[in-house]
Chain A
Amino acid sequence: MAPTSQQVLDVLATIQDPDLGRDVVSLGMIKELDVSPQGKVSFTFELTTPACPVRDRFKTQAHDLVGEIPGVSEVQVRMTANVRQAFMRPKPSEVLPGVKQTIAVASGKGGVGKSTVAVNLAAALMKAGADVGLLDADILGPSVPTMTGSRTVPEQVNGQLQPILAHGLKVMSFGHIYPGGQPTVYRGPMVGKAIEALMTQVDWGRLDYLVIDLPPGTGDASLTLAQAIPITGVAIVCTPQDVATDIAIKALQMFRKLNVTPLGLIENMSWYICPSCGHRHEIFSHGGAEAAAQRLGVPFLGAVPLEESIREDADAGTPVVISRPESAGARAFVEIASQVAARTSIQSFRQLPVISVR
């Protein structure tokens, strides 16, 4: 005899989402459940992100658990993903109406590879199946146009700038608007205005994730951004040595003050494999970010090696996760992206204070 739908849901409810800390049935992840009289069970397993780190485990678990129910002849699990709106907001943000989640990438210190991480994080989320935009909030030193090989000038439609399409990502940078070798010489308030313009005057459309590459420092750019939009979370990039982790900690504390959740720390330039001798060198030390994350009580999202190919591909305009997906660097970025996506999903179940005026 075929089982009831309730029997199927009961066994599926024993699967816990490790990040959200609840079972997958009460989280609403099981949809379109159908049990045929012959005992054929089919359902859709809707994840909160296509880059889910436990996707395969969920699928096997669901398949096996349901298959063990007496009377089940066949199990069909359809895996899909639907990124949820951050903070369970009743109405979308006025500034970025079509964007579900905004993820900032910051560092405090310059030169640690923020842009490289941001570009590859965006590309990895896109490869997993999400709609992703990349906003370069570094007005004075934009690197996104070079790193994504996009040097076209954006078109204007109905008074809105159209983002540039690069490798499947929607990209916008001040370097697109003012290309060429001329520097942008702006004081702080102008930098803030420029960042606001990149959010409000660009037609971002519908996006699952908008990755924002912040400039170094704890000043105008970060503050403007944190005041203009509810950022889902911020990933902090640093290199392992003390001089970088010390400043990364400051950046993280600034975001905490602004009530922006730190998604975690990423260690870049973590190790180097010498191509001639095969030796592993730890040029900038190793494990500094992980230790700092532990001290601050935030997740450690992963470590990226120092690789010539990451730099070469960034200069050539193709993120390494696209050009050399098998390289150690690309694999590290993909792993980090799924960690970031999982931490971001947790935020979508939070609710910001609701204000009403009478």
Chain B
Amino acid sequence: MDALSELMNGFATAAHPTNLLYAFLGVLLGTAIGVLPGIGPAMTIALLLPLTYSLEPTQAFIMFAGIYYGGMYGGSTTSILLNTPGESASVVTAIEGNQMAKRGRAAAALATAAIGSFIAGTIGTLCLALVAPQIVKLAIKMGAPDYFAVMVLAFIAVTTVLGASKVRGLAALAIGLLIGLIGIDPTSGQQRLTLGIPELADGIDVVVVAVGLFAVGEALWIAAHLRRTPADIISVGAARMTREDWRRSWKPWLRGTAIGFPFGAVPAGGAEIPTFLSYVTEKKLTKHPEEFGKGAIEGVAGPEATNNASAAGGLVPLLTLGIPTTATAAVMLGAFQGYGIQPGPRLLQTQPELVWGLVASLFIGNVILLALNLPLAPMWAKLLRIPRPYLYAGILFFASIGAYAANLSTFDLWLLLLLGALGFGMRRYGLPVVPAIIGIILGPTAEEQLRRALQISDGAVSGLYNTWFSKVVYAVIVLVLVVPPIVGRIRERRASRETPELQHSDRTGGQ
């Protein structure tokens, strides 16, 4: 009951008019960028990081969380109406959603996506409020070796589970860790990888890295692929559902929530796998198997609920352990570090107003999102008419201002350009951006825990795995590495051609 009374306090914080305004701004912005393919919540939050210099932490995080949730709502609109997923989490939605739209059922598809997202988001946030304090109780006992083990798990999971190629994922992670090393070694005071440039001694500001890799890299990538034949968009009125749609949707919503939340919460997150799992589950359980592939409402309801639940789940490791599982969470962690707040088990005690205000604002944000999305989906679709040169010129402008504002030095602008070129190169050669950004932001913290663990054990490697918790985590890591190839081989032998190909949008860097 403790959590509930804390949550009530959180509502008092979130209901403050200023905070309500930021929540509204966040979800509005989130939906808009969710609708636009290629621009994800991670990029948007990165672009808005400079705001943290002047904003209170509570307000900034309420807005960021709104963007995070809003992106999940907006992505489905583009998936359904345009067959181009706005976010990587909405890739699966496009399979059935666009088919429904082509059959004149776009309104029902949009409605089931929005209502499913609302239900999953609300249940997910409730789970977050209930689970987080429990995890904190466990986490408070965790020592340096345990932390390091969990971070290694996060690194491994993000690089190998997501994305098409493990080698590319690991290469991207290595790039991220390398950039994270730049600066003065906190333990010995030595300069590392600074190339004798004094500006690099402080390390690269997280704003510059995030904006460079996401915003500038993506803008250059789009600029290189600007022309494309305009897609056919399916016009639609306000979203609504028939009684039959409700009857067929509510179970997939709940199942999607049940799949999404745990997947988001374990440090192996991302919404791609659970949404795909949800799709496969609905396909197996449906009473209308003949409709799958031709616009089955279950195939929209399930995955859309899943991606919102996993977004809520993703906040659990972020707030309780300080470990991001998605690019968006990684950038939010960067924002926490910018404020000098270390997310982790003590966050709930040191910043209860921030955490519970954030959780409460998620409930409010969900309601606003439902109100924004049900009647206004056609209006959001109009955003797709914005000529992309204008859009990306604006993004580059904000990116440059943000990078300059970090330290008011032109050096950062050159750095931004360099990192943007790196981001472009990574997209060009198919390296996923997410492991790199997680490496950059989590790398230094992981190093700190590693060295602390080694200092405690006086340099003995056994100090890294001498607790039961770390042993369990390392066992999980081995499973993560070993099981998928074996399962893949078994599946290959069965040569089942049933599962539809999952197109990965690693290259777009969104989410």
Is B a genuine binding partner of A? no
